[in-house]
Amino acid sequence: MRVLGIETSCDDTSVALYDEARGVVANLVSSQLDLHEPFGGVVPELASRAHLVNLLPMIDHLLARQSLRLRDLDGVAVTAGPGLIGALLVGLSTAKAIAFGAGLKLIGVHHIEGHILANALSGPLVLPAAVLVVSGGHTEVVMMEAVGRYERLGATLDDAAGEAFDKTAQLLGLPYPGGPAIDRAAEGGRSGRFRFPRPMLDDARVVFSFSGLKTAVRLAAAGLPRPLSPEDVADLARETQEAIVEVLVARLLQAARQRRARAVYLAGGVAANRRLRAATAAAARDAGLHFLPLQPAYCTDNAAMIAYAGWCRLAHGQADGWDLDSFARAPVVSWR
């Protein structure tokens, strides 16, 4: 069974092909980084227009490279949400047209489920598992009892961790996107010069809060001579990263203990952060939990995870009708 995946939830246009016999056989991504960098963030209208330009040629290229025609496929999986509505509609409309015209099954995929199931592309899943979904727009912990069975245990009360990374990078004069820039800058930072809050670590709930951390970084930076020296930037970046990572890992392990999970996983763009990966691996090892870090290519938005998630649903006899709609916000839900 072959499934074409389409991902256009934000600023990356991606198409992929999942073959149950061979796994992911193609995963193409067209980045819009240069388009949005002058604005310091994603401009929704520009993202939608770029998807319109890129999507069909990328699908044609993927199929030609694999020597396939649409009739050789079994289904089209597409991100239905959450995300930017305009961007989502480009992908969803394209998926509907292709599926209808070629007589294929249409499968709408929740973006968060795609990120969670991306872990299956790096190795066999160990379940039940607690999954930390962490990106520029999401910070939440989801319990995965089985593929298709999810429970959201808690989420951020204000800002996402990725957004805190981005805003801190902007404050420190680092380039966009901020997460990777903070990761690189923190390598040369000294530990102990600054001490930022670790919000709500004593709370029994699985919740996060990063708005106060951003304020702490701003106040610390404001007390330094301008322009900030490379040492100042590195030290501030290191402590910011340490504060965020400490909270993320503590919450993930807390959820795993509460729900007697056998494994922990990371998902989303921030899952590529090297300090977070190392800290999670160490904590999981100490707790006797399975942990296998995601391949970096599957951390950020990609269609491989959407194609695989769509294949999972199709393999269980599930598909969607032509009334499938996009949505900007909604928690991941179980379908088994």
Could you tell me the two tokens for 52?
A: 């319109």
User: What is the pLDDT at residue 60?
Assistant: 97
Does a structural domain hold residue 336? no
User: What is the pLDDT at residue 201?
Assistant: 87
- Whose structure tokens read 């599957």? 298
Does a structural domain hold residue 320? no
Does a structural domain hold residue 283? yes
Range of the domain at 239: 124-293
Report pTM: 0.94
Please tell me whether residues 51 and 64 are part of one structural domain.
yes
Tens of pLDDT along 121-171? 999 999 999 999 999 889 999 999 999 999 999 999 999 999 999 999 999
Please tell me whether residues 247 and 160 are part of one structural domain.
yes
Tens of pLDDT along 18-40? 999 999 999 999 988 888 888 87
Please tell me whether residues 269 and 305 are part of one structural domain.
no
Does a structural domain hold residue 324? no
238-275 CB burial, b ≥16 within 10 A, e <16 = bbbbbbbbbbbbebbbbbbeebebebbbbbbbbbbbbb
Please tell me whether residues 48 and 166 are part of one structural domain.
no
Please tell me whether residues 108 and 129 are part of one structural domain.
no
Interatomic CA distance for residues 62 and 229, integer angstroms: 46
87 and 93 Cβ atoms separated by less than 8 Å: no
Please tell me whether residues 82 and 227 are part of one structural domain.
no
Please tell me whether residues 163 and 111 are part of one structural domain.
no
Does a structural domain hold residue 208? yes
User: What is the pLDDT at residue 98?
Assistant: 98
Does a structural domain hold residue 321? no
User: What is the pLDDT at residue 134?
Assistant: 96
Does a structural domain hold residue 331? no
One-letter amino acid for residue 319 of the chain: A
Does a structural domain hold residue 335? no
Please tell me whether residues 166 and 67 are part of one structural domain.
no
User: What is the pLDDT at residue 107?
Assistant: 98
User: What is the pLDDT at residue 246?
Assistant: 97
Please tell me whether residues 105 and 192 are part of one structural domain.
no
User: What is the pLDDT at residue 14?
Assistant: 98
Please tell me whether residues 239 and 142 are part of one structural domain.
yes
Please tell me whether residues 103 and 237 are part of one structural domain.
no
User: What is the pLDDT at residue 85?
Assistant: 97
Please tell me whether residues 65 and 146 are part of one structural domain.
no
Q: What is the CATH number of the domain that holds 271?
A: 3.30.420.40
Helices 230-258 and 211-222 pack at an angle, to 10 degrees, of 160
Could you tell me the two tokens for 82?
A: 């959450």
- The low-confidence residues of the chain, meaning pLDDT below 70, are none
How many structural domains does the chain have?
2
249 and 285 Cβ atoms separated by less than 8 Å: no
